[in-house]
Structure 1
């Protein structure tokens, strides 16, 4: 049973990687952040901060995609409440992304200025 749960979760992750443009972009940005962390030899605490905020953003995007899919299924025609739900879900990702950029800047700018 546990094996099946992992199988379904992996199936969902693959679907997001194949079908969700924003998730693909976030994975690309995450890979760039990891590369920058390796190049600049950031500290353990900086790694923890980057991995934590990156994980939060990736999870938020997965939830956003899920919510949008559910709304499209339930309300295939335009409805103002359906649009509000989708907008607020996207706003959650935007807010998290803004904080992730600030955290990234706080970590990487000192390294860049020391070059």
Structure 2
């Protein structure tokens, strides 16, 4: 079997990534909510009277939040695929993925509050 290299590999990887984003949107309510929040906050960041660095700081944690939500959803999908019975390690993996999302949401809120109200 020949490996895909070069531009073909990049195009295939892009296709898989788009498929993953579509899957997350279709199957994960939290991801849909975060996407809609992103559609509001990122454009809002461009209308605010902030410096370029502040604008980047407003947008970056939103993107990180989406990334962590996708990783959390992937962890949950793999754990659920393995079995429906409770296992401590499976529960720990799901809880840690959820904690990553929570921390990213707290970071997003903190940065927005800090820049908008204490700048």
Are residue 69 (structure 1) and residue 80 (structure 2) matched? no
- Unaligned stretches of 5+ residues in structure 1: none
Q: Does structure 2 retain, via aligned residues, the 8 Å contact 1:67–1:86?
A: yes
How many angstroms does 1:35 deviate by? Answer: 3.4
Q: Aligned equivalents of 2:50 and 2:42: distance in 1?
A: 10
**Cα separation, 2, equivalents of 1:36 and 1:2:** 32
What does residue 89 of structure 2 align with? 81
C-alpha deviation, 1:41, in angstroms? 3.2
How far apart, CA to CA, are the structure 1 residues paired with 2:14 and 2:44? Answer: 31
- Kept in 2, the 8 Å contact 1:75–1:82? The answer is no
Q: What does the per-residue CA deviation read over 1:61-81, in whole Å, with 9 as the maximum and x for residues that have no partner?
A: 110000010111113222232
Q: Which runs of 5+ in 2 are unaligned?
A: 1-8
Deviations 1:44-68 (A, max 9, x none): 1111112211111111111000001
- Cα deviation, 1:8-66, whole Å, max 9, x if unaligned, reads 11111111111111111111111221233233233211111122111111111110000
CA RMSD of aligned residues (A): 1.6
Where does residue 60 of structure 1 map in the other structure?
Answer: 68
